[in-house]
Structure 1
């Protein structure tokens, strides 16, 4: 039986394994998927997790529950060697194992891109994983509880100051949703007012949302500023030491919550720990049929897709363009990849990946959104409804679709839950404090 090893359980990896399970004949091949997290994160839902519109677990799709015929290894890949067809993995306990493969699929995904800015490593939170989205939500809610006990002044102001760095889709959606949550929470905190909130979106370029045209992007900026936000374009963060933010435009302020969404970087495993060909950005060199390598020099039996692969964009009029690193492409590349692997196993012709964009849609908070398809632009409530409709169709499995729709319906009827569970991040504190008090008495 042939061994198929998939590195990474994100969109591309999950959909490749899922489709392989459906397409492979019994005994034709065995599939192993390796990822330190035993679930796929549906990242478009993370902004709504931060806003409490979706439960955290509903943005995660269990690999073991939905990949019933796939071997799931909750381990980290540390090295890939195509020369001897091995993948080295390390378990959470530190044990290393070498897996041999007949077919390798690399869908490791990208990592958050950071810069050597003072204070970022200690103060900022990313927005690529469920745990980060939950932490952002709980920190904001805890800040409201603390601020409500303080008189107006710098300390209260700092607690209710939020800074997002990065104006891509992840940053703008997370910023808009969290602003929507904070504004809604004021109804439950009569001690606080809108003037106490201070939300800052920092973007190094002269515009946000690069996937949409200039005018819709400018409308989003005006929309956010109309809701009281501060959008800093052509601006970089200079320092965030001890939560004191210094911007390149000269502004300085204290911010209790800093969220870093300033783009993606190549996965370190792909960039530094493999003999597979990579480009100047550290991305895997991939052909249009999703094989690793070039047309003249392919790597035998190695395929790749997703955010760590430089996949040619055959639908783009720009020569040499690559597909955007987004969920829309990763999902469809995973499906095409599975079909191509099965075709290759059976000696049939493989097909190139080609996908014309379905448009882009973003949520900007409860009841607010923007959608663009070519020259068609839709704003406000209709775009927000389109965002929800698209993603409830796109999230894999009916089980997840039903759970998400149920939570949305409950929130529409009763409002969002505004209870902070920040203490969950330190589950032993209450027990330890109780033990210490018992010793004193």
Structure 2
């Protein structure tokens, strides 16, 4: 009698776009006892990052832009832990679990989908004063922080402090920075109607970008148009300008401009997850995993990768540039993940992986309520139509029917009843009142 072989152990590192969509594809297509799938992430949810600006601005309930991993991955094992080391030679991954204990996980097939982290530059004061914008926690914090600054400004008698409180700085002119800036500026302008002593012109929003243009993902003319639209709204746009210092909230720019700001939002780029430095997997000069067009790690046929952490050849552009790799965006991450799951199934069943090919169809961005910009299928779209395209595209891409419905309801209620602009500032320091009571 033949001995039944053990199921293949598939370990997925990361629960973002790539991790979630790969695990979804695997649990849908794997046969019974063909393989076991374990997904590891420090958070018990996947965050749909394109909706973070709307969550921060109150257009969407923050809980609705995250997908609970345990709820949707019913046939997978979900481990809430942080990856600290990868040893493919031994086929083990070291993780630090949520309770702090260290554990080693063994695998047969590894999917590295750890994504990216904020790229922090050695600018004085940045680590102390800056706020990143990559997680739902940061979006919630930022919303309450900004609205709290309006409350503080409305009550202070110090004109210089008031000016500082009402000055908001965004560093980084890519999609993340522009959408965060536009949505939050829209929110603060709307909120001023509830403050007797704050007018829209009292609020100062500043955008700082080291390159000579914003939104490099769209054609240059649309980037110029977007900058003009922001300036028409009173937003100060500094191009070809680097930030030199943020010490004690005092912003110093490379062109000599100086001002005080209590809010510094850092969206100036990302880098591959630094855990790769503690692995035996091959990386390129930018610290990303070297990947084949079939989404396998170069020289490691049992290791797969995709998304921001991977340098995947962009076959749609390799004729003009042999070194071209897929840009780190949600469009590629989602498609690569679905393709990756199919390739793993093919290989498990004795087949060969198929190369990933996708020609970028364009980009869409929200510039606040009823405003947007899009560059899709070589067509330029501006204003309300682009805003509708942005919402339609991303609600379609949002995982699970449950989340799609909740987001649509948020939009419907927001249009009918208007957005909420109340600060829940206690969230940022929840024990303050308890500590005060204990001292009295």
TM-score (norm 1): 0.96
Question: Could you tell me whether the CA contact under 8 Å between 1:36 and 1:76 is conserved in 2?
Answer: yes
Q: Is 1:288 aligned to residue 293 of structure 2?
A: yes
1:232 to 216, 232, 238: 238
Structure 1 position 319, deviation (Å): 2.2
Structure 1 position 427, deviation (Å): 1.9
Match of 2:346 in 1: 343
**1: CA distance, partners of 2:301 / 2:394:** 36
Match of 1:360 in 2: 363
Matches within 5 A, 1:186-335: 186-270=192-276, 272-293=277-298, 298-316=299-317, 317-335=320-338
Question: Could you tell me whether the CA contact under 8 Å between 2:362 and 2:378 is conserved in 1?
Answer: no
Match of 2:400 in 1: 397
**2: CA distance, partners of 1:53 / 1:202:** 25
Match of 2:173 in 1: 167
Could you list the runs of 5+ residues in structure 2 that have no partner in the other structure?
1-6
Match of 2:44 in 1: 38
- For residues 303-329 of structure 1, the C-alpha deviation after alignment (integer angstroms, 9 at most, x for no partner) is 100100000001124322000100010
Question: Could you tell me whether the CA contact under 8 Å between 1:164 and 1:261 is conserved in 2?
Answer: yes
Tell which deviates more after alignment, 36-45 or 341-350.
341-350
Could you list the runs of 5+ residues in structure 1 that have no partner in the other structure?
none
**2: CA distance, partners of 1:355 / 1:375:** 16
Q: Is 1:19 aligned to residue 37 of structure 2?
A: no
Matches within 5 A, 1:348-427: 348-427=351-430
Structure 1 position 154, deviation (Å): 1.6
- For residues 148-190 of structure 1, the C-alpha deviation after alignment (integer angstroms, 9 at most, x for no partner) is 1234722111111100011111001101111111111111112
**2: CA distance, partners of 1:312 / 1:197:** 45
Structure 1 position 237, deviation (Å): 0.7
**1: CA distance, partners of 2:428 / 2:266:** 20
**1: CA distance, partners of 2:167 / 2:55:** 19
Alignment CA distance shift 1:196-1:151 (3 Å)? farther
**2: CA distance, partners of 1:210 / 1:374:** 16
Matched residues, number: 432
- For residues 11-59 of structure 1, the C-alpha deviation after alignment (integer angstroms, 9 at most, x for no partner) is 0111000110000001000000010011001000011111111111111
Question: Could you tell me whether the CA contact under 8 Å between 1:106 and 1:305 is conserved in 2?
Answer: yes
Structure 1 position 374, deviation (Å): 4.4
Match of 1:71 in 2: 77
- For residues 68-94 of structure 1, the C-alpha deviation after alignment (integer angstroms, 9 at most, x for no partner) is 011011001111011111111111222
Tell which deviates more after alignment, 340-349 or 142-151.
142-151
Tell which deviates more after alignment, 417-426 or 44-53.
417-426
Tell which deviates more after alignment, 18-27 or 310-319.
310-319
Question: Could you tell me whether the CA contact under 8 Å between 2:144 and 2:428 is conserved in 1?
Answer: no
Question: Could you tell me whether the CA contact under 8 Å between 2:293 and 2:312 is conserved in 1?
Answer: yes
**2: CA distance, partners of 1:276 / 1:123:** 35
Structure 1 position 349, deviation (Å): 2.8
Match of 1:59 in 2: 65
**2: CA distance, partners of 1:420 / 1:435:** 25
TM-score (norm 2): 0.97
- For residues 122-158 of structure 1, the C-alpha deviation after alignment (integer angstroms, 9 at most, x for no partner) is 1111000001011111111111111112347221111
Q: Is 1:140 aligned to residue 135 of structure 2?
A: no
Q: Is 1:81 aligned to residue 84 of structure 2?
A: no
Question: Could you tell me whether the CA contact under 8 Å between 2:117 and 2:273 is conserved in 1?
Answer: yes
Structure 1 position 359, deviation (Å): 1.3
SS at match of 2:399: coil
Q: Is 1:122 aligned to residue 128 of structure 2?
A: yes
